[in-house]
């Protein structure tokens, strides 16, 4: 039996984890600038990057699937509080996303590696808004045993 449609399971996995933590998705994957200020706090956006083939055999294909998860936080009195709060929130997100017991419930999802975490302020009047960028790479295995 062939395992199909495994590449499309990583993004829903991330959405499920972020939604469970109380985040709200900003649906425009290509334009992070059009998010409304009224919903920016604890919003997220998932940007896909180039999926590449890592290795293969006659029945197994392994893919690396990098994504960038953007998280927004607002309402801090000063920038240092914003970074501290955002770092704590990012850590909670990573605890959920990297949890091995839930990761292995997703067919084909072999591993998730964190790669980068970056913070930058967002220029907004009267609000201290920070954007956290979290780089993640999934290792996904696709089985193809149709001709075996």
Q: Which of 119, 134, 110, 124 shows the shortest CA–CA distance to 39?
A: 124
CA–CA distance, 134 with 115 (Å, rounded to integer): 8
Q: pLDDT in tens for each of the 148 residues of the chain?
A: 345 567 889 999 999 999 999 999 987 665 666 666 667 889 999 998 888 888 878 788 888 999 999 999 886 777 778 888 899 999 999 999 999 998 888 988 999 999 999 998 887 655 678 899 999 999 998 887 665 5
Q: Record the pTM.
A: 0.85
Q: What is the 3-state secondary structure (H, E, C) of 4-51?
A: CCCHHHHHHHHHHHHHHCCCEECCCCCCHHHCCCCCCCCEEEEEECCC
Give the strand pairing for 52-56 and 60-73: antiparallel
- Cα dihedral across residues 132, 41, 46, 109: positive or negative: positive
- Cα dihedral across residues 44, 92, 114, 127: positive or negative: positive
């Amino acid at each position: 039996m062939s395992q199909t449609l495994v590449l499309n399971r990583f993004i829903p996995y991330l959405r499920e984890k972020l939604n469970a933590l109380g985040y709200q998705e900003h649906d425009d994957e290509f334009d992070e600038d059009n998010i409304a200020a009224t919903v920016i706090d604890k919003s997220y956006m998932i940007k896909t990057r180039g999926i590449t083939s890592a290795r293969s055999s006659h029945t197994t294909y392994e893919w690396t699937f990098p994504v960038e998860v953007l998280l927004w936080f607002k309402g801090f009195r000063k920038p240092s509080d914003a970074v501290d709060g955002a770092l704590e929130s990012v850590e909670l997100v990573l605890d959920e996303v990297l949890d091995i017991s839930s990761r292995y419930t997703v067919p084909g999802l072999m591993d998730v590696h964190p790669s980068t975490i970056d913070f930058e302020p967002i220029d907004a009047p009267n609000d201290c808004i920070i954007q956290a960028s979290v780089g993640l790479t999934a290792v996904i295995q696709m089985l193809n045993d149709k001709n075996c």
